[in-house]
Chains A and B, each alone.
Chain A
Amino acid sequence: MPEIIINDQQIEVPEGTNLILAARKLGIDIPHFCYHPGLSVAGSCRMCQVEIEQNGRKRIDLACTNPAQDGMTVKTDSPEVKGIVKAVLEFLLLNHPTDCPICDDAGECKLQDYYMLHGLYDNRLNVDKWHKPKVHRAGPNVMLDAERCVLCGRCVRFCDEIWGEKQLGIFGHGSDEVLMNYPGKDLDNPYSGNVVDLCPVGALLDRDFHFQRRSWYLKSVKSICPSCSRGCNTYIHFDTDHDYKSAGKRIMRLKPRYNVDVNRWWICDRGRYGYSSIDNPNRALTPLIAGGETGWEQALTKSETLIRSSLKKPGPDGLALLMAPNATNEDVYLALRLFRDTVKFANLGYDIPSMEKLAADNILLTDDPYPNRRGFKDLGFGSISNTSEAAEIIEAIFAGQIKGLVVCGTNLEGMLGNQIDNLIAKLDWLIVLDTHKSSLMDKASVALPLALPAEREGTFTNVKGLVQKFEKAVEPTGQSLPLWEVLQRLGKRLNAKWSFEETHTVFKSLAEDKPEYDTLNWLATFGVNKGLYLDSW
C-alpha cells in the first residue's frame, strides 16, 4: 500500500486510491466539482489541482486523476495551488447568475461554499454575462437552471454509467455549451432524482422541493426506504418549525445515505418521491369502533373483549392474523409473542399475493414492494404454509372455518374487490390496524391507527438479510401509534407475561431469541441533525 504525505500528514492508502480520497481520509477536503467516487473520472472542472512532489520533481496536477504513489508529497494549500483554485472558481462564477437568494440549493451548494472559503467577493467581469435557459422542466421530477450549471457533467455520466441510457447531454461548443435533456424527451429514468444530489450547484433541482424550504431549516434523521425490499439507506429531511407553505407538510424530502453494501450513493425515484404518503390527508388519525371515532382505551377494551369472546369458541383454529410485510421486526416479534404464544391464534399469514409487482432492475429496485418480507420469514411468521398463506386464510374464512380476524396493513380490498363485504359477513369480528383510512377500517368492528416508519424507530431486514435500523423523524400523526406499542398495550390486557417500554428493549429481547439479529448497536444513534449531507461529495 502506497504511503504518501499530504500537507505534512502521513497516510497509507490502498493501491489506486486517488488523492481526493486519500486527503479525505485525513479530513482534508480538496475542492472539486466533476469528481464523484461513484462515477468515472472526467478531470474537466480543474478545481482539484494540487502540488505533487515526486522523485524530486514538483508539478501542479489534478488530485482526481492521480492515484497515490509511494513517496508522493502533496500540498493542497501552497500559494500557487490556492491561486489556481481561486482562478478556476472565478472562471466558474464569472457568468453564474448568483441568484442564491432564490436558489433551492443555497446552503448546500459547493460553489457557494468554495466562494466563501476563497474569499472571492467581487466579480471582475467587465463584459456582459451570458444567458441560458432557466426553470426548465428536464423531466417529471427534475428541473434545470442552465445558467447555474458548472458543466461538471456528473449528471450526464450518471445517466450514461449508472442508469445506462443517455438522457442528458452537454450540447454546443465552448462557452455556448448548455446542459439539456433531448428536446421532447424527458429525463425520466427511475433514478433521475440522483442527478439532483450529484449536481454540485443549483442547476438540477427536485421539482417537488422547489421553493419549499431553505435548506438550513431542514433537520435530518437516518432512515431506511420502505418502498421495496432493498432497504436503501436514506436521510429524512424535515421541518416542523416553519409554517411557510407547510399546510401540514413536515417531511420535505428524502435523500440517499451512502451504504457501500446496499445502495452506495443512490436511491430510486419511487423511494425518493414516495414520502407524500406520510403527511397525507388520508392518514388514519383516531381509533374507530364500528366506524365511529373513539379513544384508544375504548378501542383496546373492545378489541380485548372480541378476542377473549372467541378464545373458547371458535377457539384458536377459528382465529387468524393477517399482517403485511411492511411491519418492523419489533412489530413482528411482539405480534408473534401475542397472537401465536399468548392467545394462540392458529392462523398467521403474511405472504400476501402482492397487488403491485415492481419491475426489478439490476441497480437497486427489487420486485417486492414490501420492506421486511425477509424479517417475517427469519422470525418464523406464518403457520399454514410457505406460500400464499393469506389466500388460504381467506379461503378458510369463506368456508366458515375462521370467525375472528385481525388485519395489519393488508390491502384486503385490493385483493378481494367487491367480495370484501361477503368476507366480512362471514366473520364474527374484524379488527383492522392501518396507517391510512380505508373502507375496511370503516367497516371493521375495531380500527386502530398506526404510525409510519418516519414517525417511529425500528428495524427492517432487507432482501439480502441485512438488519437495518431507522430513526424517528416526526411524531406519529393524530393519535396513531407504532404497531409494537399497540401490541404491547393489547398484550397487557390479554395477560401477556412480557412488557416493553421502548423499541430498543423489544429489539434486545428479539436479538436474544434470534442471535443472528444481534448485529446492531442500537444506542449508537444518529439522532436529529441539522447538518444535511454527511456523505456529501
Chain B
Amino acid sequence: MRTLSDSTRQQAQALMEMYPTKEAAMLPVLHLAQKEFGLIDDEAEQVVAEVMGISPVSVRETSRFYFMYHHHPVGKYHLQVCQNISCTIMGAETILDHIKRRLGIEAEERTEDGLFSVERVECIACCDRGPAMLVNDKLHTGLTPDKIDGIIKESDPERKLDHMQSEGNKE
C-alpha cells in the first residue's frame, strides 16, 4: 500500500489542527493526496482515511462527490475544456475537436505516453474570454486551434503535430 510522504502527512496534520474539526481538512487533504499520488483511487482514499483517522466511507463519499478528484490517472498535462454556454457559443466544441484530433484521444481519455489528457468541464468563470480551458492550474483563454497547437508544443516540444490531421487539412 502506498503511503503519503512525511511532509504531506505533516501538512495534513497542520490542516486538521487549523480547522475547528479534523473532518474539515478533508478537501485540502484530498487535494494534497492527489498532488502526491496523481489521483484519488481506492488506495488513496484509504491512506487519507488512515492519516485523518476517519472512516474510508466518509472519505469516499467526499472524494466521489467532487469532480476535481480523479479516480483514474490523468496526463502530465491535463486539459480541462469549458463546455458551458458562453464558451460553447464561442466555439468550444471546435476547440475540443481540434484537441482530440491533435492528441488522438477522446474526452476523458489520456494519451498513451501519459503526457496529455482531456476532460470536459463546466463553467470555469471566465466567460468573457471564451473559449477557455485550464491546463493543470493554468488558465488559457480566447482559444483558437493555433493557440492549442502552441500550448501542446510548449508542453511537449518533441511532439509532432504535422503528421496529424488538423483543422485545416481534414478531409
Contact = CB atoms under 8 A, between A and B. Distances in A.
Nearest to A173: B65
B45 to A, nearest CB: 8
Interface string A166-207: 111111110000000111110000000000000000000000
Interface string B38-81: 00001000000000000111101100111100000000000000
B26 to A, nearest CB: 13
Interface residues of B, number: 11
B65 A168 contact: no
A165 interface: yes
B57 A167 contact: yes
A182 B58 CA distance: 10
A131 B108 CA distance: 20
B151 to A, nearest CB: 29
Contacts of B42: 183-184
Given A182-B56, A183-B42, A185-B56, A170 B67 contact: no
Given A183-B42, A185-B56, A169 B61 contact: yes
A173 B69 CA distance: 12
B56 A172 contact: no
A166 B58 contact: yes
Interface in B154-169: none
Contacts of B60: 169, 171, 182
Nearest to B63: A171
A185 B45 CA distance: 13
A182 B64 CA distance: 12
Contacts of A181: 57
Contacts of A167: 57
Contacts of B57: 166-169, 181-182, 185
A178 to B, nearest CB: 9
A375 to B, nearest CB: 41
Interface in A368-395: none
A69 B159 CA distance: 71
Residue with the highest number of chain A CB atoms closer than 10 Å, among B57, B58, B60, B66 = B57
Contacts of A171: 60-61, 64-65
A256 B67 CA distance: 41
Contacts of B65: 171-173
Interface string A343-375: 000000000000000000000000000000000
B67 A166 contact: no
Contacts of A170: 61
Nearest to A170: B61
A169 B64 CA distance: 10
Interface in A118-177: 165-173
Contacts of A168: 57
B46 to A, nearest CB: 9
A173 B61 contact: no
Nearest to B64: A171
A166 B64 contact: no
B150 to A, nearest CB: 34
B18 to A, nearest CB: 24
Nearest to B67: A173
Contacts of A172: 64-65
Nearest to B65: A173
A182 B61 CA distance: 10
A167 B64 CA distance: 16
Contacts of B56: 182, 185
Residue with the highest number of chain B CB atoms closer than 10 Å, among A181, A182, A183 = A182
Contacts of A165: 55
Nearest to B56: A182
A457 B60 CA distance: 49
A201 B55 CA distance: 27
A21 to B, nearest CB: 29
Nearest to A165: B55
A4 to B, nearest CB: 37
Interface in B29-43: 42
Interface of B: 42, 55-58, 60-61, 64-67
20 contacts: A165-B55, A166-B55, A166-B57, A166-B58, A167-B57, A168-B57, A169-B57, A169-B58, A169-B60, A169-B61, A171-B61, A171-B64, A171-B65, A172-B64, A173-B64, A173-B65, A181-B57, A184-B42, A185-B56, A185-B57
Given A165-B55, A172-B65, A182-B56, 7 more contacts: A166-B55, A166-B57, A167-B57, A169-B60, A171-B61, A173-B65, A185-B56
Closest 6 CB pairs of A and B: A166-B57, A166-B55, A171-B64, A169-B57, A169-B61, A182-B56
